Amino acid sequence: MADFDYTLKNNKLYDLGTHIGYFAAFLIFASLFYFIMTFFNKIPQAIRYYHVLFFVITLSVIRFLALRFRK
């Protein structure tokens, strides 16, 4: 059984799935964060959702590259 766990974690499809999962979690967090902050008027009027989305995508790419270079 331990061998199955080892082969699963070294699978490229498993890695892709974890990256997509983290990205989806980032998007959900960004959406909730943006809507809560705009509800309480804590974000300036100049910042729109696509700014937050771009920031989240940038963080996701940095995380992906850091994991690639660490290996």
34-61 pLDDT, tens per residue?
Answer: 999 899 999 888 989 888 888 888 988 8
Give the pTM: 0.66
Number of domain units in the chain: 1
Residue 57 CB contacts under 8 Å (≥ 6 apart), including other chains? none
Task: Please state the φ and ψ torsions of residue 22, each to the nearest 5 degrees.
Answer: -65, -40
pLDDT band at 9 (very low <50, low <70, confident <90, very high): low
What is the predicted pLDDT for the residue at 5? 58
**Domain membership of residue 55 as a residue range:** 2-70
Quote the CA–CA distance of 12 and 71 in Å, as a whole number: 14
At 41, the amino acid letter reads N
Chain-wide mean pLDDT for the chain? 83
With 70 as the cut, is the pLDDT of residue 8 above it? Answer: no
Quote the CA–CA distance of 48 and 34 in Å, as a whole number: 9
pLDDT band at 11 (very low <50, low <70, confident <90, very high): confident
